[in-house]
């Protein structure tokens, strides 16, 4: 059985039909998680295919967001981004993706999420981009992406409305990325907020946050 299948989408900006590959759910097998909850997959990595890119106008977003309509207020900013990337070499995103192609897709998605004023999504894109660089053993670009993820998570947490089911994830990465960049006081503050505010939660991020916080206090 193949790992990938093709799904059709309608681009909300130009109306084109977009074909993007998806990973069969039964083919997704997680062996373990790293300290920042980066999944290590057995076989194909679905993170390579999370972003859908329109090959006509280059509009890009996570698969779950791609067909959502864009507010007319933000459309001008979206079109400005499209104008800036029109002459850029665009890879073929409809085929099987390597890490280079996937990272390019995330870079495009970041531009459009910034245009749509969605710093929480920008943070997630930088986080996943950092993970892809890690798989390439490119530590310099991994750290650049994760530093931008931390900055974007801060903007997200301080300046936007956050749904309660999303907050543990955001607090975890505020803490974990602060810890990674030796910002011990910030890491302690965010882990403490996560553990105290969501102490009765069954969140995966709470469990991991408690473990990391304990490790931090024991050092």
- Give the structural domain span for 60: 4-118
User: What's CA 3's distance to the chain center, in Å?
Assistant: 22
In a domain, 26, yes or no: yes
- Please report, in tens digits, the pLDDT of each residue of the chain (219 residues total): 689 999 999 999 999 999 999 999 999 999 999 999 999 999 999 999 999 999 999 999 999 999 999 999 999 999 999 998 865 566 789 999 999 999 999 999 999 999 999 999 999 999 999 999 999 999 999 999 999 999 999 999 999 999 889 999 999 999 999 999 999 999 999 999 999 999 888 999 999 999 998 888 887
Question: What tens digit of pLDDT does each residue of 159-190 get?
Answer: 999 988 999 999 999 999 999 999 999 999 99
DSSP notation for 102-161: HHHHHHHHHHHHHHTT-HHHHHHHHHHHHHHHHHTT-HHHHHHHHHHHHHHHHHHHHHS-
Closest CA to 18 of 31, 28, 9, 29: 9
Q: What is the number of structural domains in the chain?
A: 1
In a domain, 207, yes or no: no
What pLDDT sits at residue 67? Answer: 98
What pLDDT sits at residue 214? Answer: 87
Rounded Cα distance, 135 and 103, in Å: 11
Give the CA count within 13 Å in the CB-facing half-sphere of 90: 17
**Residues 216, 184: contact at Cβ < 8 Å?**
yes
In a domain, 202, yes or no: no
In a domain, 199, yes or no: no
In a domain, 136, yes or no: no
What pLDDT sits at residue 87? Answer: 56
In a domain, 149, yes or no: no
What pLDDT sits at residue 86? Answer: 63
In a domain, 21, yes or no: yes
What pLDDT sits at residue 22? Answer: 96
Closest CA to 93 of 144, 129, 57: 57
Rounded Cα distance, 39 and 165, in Å: 20
In a domain, 198, yes or no: no
């Amino acid at each position: 059985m193949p790992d990938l299948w093709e799904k059709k989408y309608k681009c909300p900006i130009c109306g084109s039909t977009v074909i993007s590959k998806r990973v069969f759910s039964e083919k997704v097998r997680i062996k373990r998680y790293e300290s920042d909850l980066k999944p290590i997959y057995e076989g194909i990595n679905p993170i390579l295919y999370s972003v859908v890119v329109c090959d006509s106008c280059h509009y890009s977003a996570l698969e779950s967001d791609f067909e959502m309509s864009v507010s007319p207020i933000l459309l001008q900013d979206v079109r400005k981004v499209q104008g800036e990337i029109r002459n850029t070499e665009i890879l073929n995103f409809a085929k099987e993706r390597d890490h280079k192609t996937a990272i390019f897709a995330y870079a495009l998605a970041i531009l459009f999420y910034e245009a749509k004023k969605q710093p929480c999504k920008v943070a997630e894109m930088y986080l996943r981009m950092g993970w892809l660089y890690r798989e390439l053993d490119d530590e310099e670009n991994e750290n650049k992406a994760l530093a931008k993820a931390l900055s974007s998570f801060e903007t997200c947490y301080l300046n936007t409305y956050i749904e309660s089911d999303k907050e543990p994830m955001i607090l975890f990465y505020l803490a974990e990325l602060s810890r990674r960049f030796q910002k011990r006081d910030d890491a302690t503050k965010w882990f403490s907020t996560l553990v105290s505010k969501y102490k009765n939660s069954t969140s995966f991020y709470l469990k991991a946050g408690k473990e990391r916080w304990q490790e931090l206090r024991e050092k």
